[in-house]
Amino acid sequence: MRKRYWLLAFAVIAFAAEYFLSWQFYRSIVPFPEMEFWYTAVSSFLRDLLLLGVAGLLYLRRTRIRDRVKCAARVSATG
């Protein structure tokens, strides 16, 4: 349950950061490009969530990755 709160907190912080960075980028344009602003903010936020998911998957499977690399190194050294 605590992990869920940490993930939710990270998601809120990531969205706030992407919202702020998009606002900084588009604020000087007149008239304000609202659709491009939201597209950039949401796209960047989804990218951050994807990276979080990949990092979590790699963290959970770290022993299997190490074993696979050892096995592949053995095969390529002998092959």
**Which one-letter amino acid corresponds to residue 74?**
R
Question: Do 19 and 46 touch, CB atoms closer than 8 A?
Answer: no
CA 23 vs CA 9, 27, 34, 39, 72: distances in Å: 21, 6, 10, 12, 47
Going by C-alpha positions, the residue among 13, 12, 41, 10 that lies closest to residue 25 is 41
Number of domains in the chain: 1
> Residues 42, 44, 49, 54: is their CA dihedral positive or negative?
positive
Q: Which residue has the higher pLDDT, 3 or 5?
A: 5
Give the tens place of pLDDT for each residue, 24-59. Answer: 999 999 999 999 999 999 999 999 999 988 888 887
Q: Record the pTM.
A: 0.71
Containing domain of residue 17, as a range? 2-78
